[in-house]
Amino acid sequence: MDLRAIQAAAVANKNAKDLNLTNVELEFCLLTAEVGEAITAWRRGEDGFDLELADIQLFLVALADMTGVDLQDAVERKMRINADRVYRRDDRGVPIKITEPGAVR
């Protein structure tokens, strides 16, 4: 299943269950709550960390749909941008971006 299909299926599921499909601010809050649940599961070594990551993905694609973003296209474009970036490490070993390709491709 590609990202577009996941996005469509997630939105269809939310629609079938009469869940939020319009309130962007609420969706950001719910997404943030899922991130909190994921970090808690990871820190405690609990089962279900993978499902918390899946919840994050599902809220993210729903948010993209609400805002008219084709997330698959955006991810593909961002990956090309990231691939073209060049970094160097400073004296502490921290990567510093030294080139920034154009944001639109």
How many Å apart are CA 100 and CA 70, to the nearest integer? 23
Q: Are 103 and 81 contacting, i.e. CB atoms less than 8 angstroms apart?
A: yes
Identity (one letter) of the amino acid at 6? I
User: Domain coordinates of the chain in residue numbers?
Assistant: 1-69, 71-105
Per-residue pLDDT for 88 more than 60? yes
CATH number of this structure's domain 1-69: 1.10.287
Share of the chain above pLDDT 70, in %: 94
Give me the pLDDT at residue 98, please. Answer: 86
* Residue-level pLDDT at 104: 45
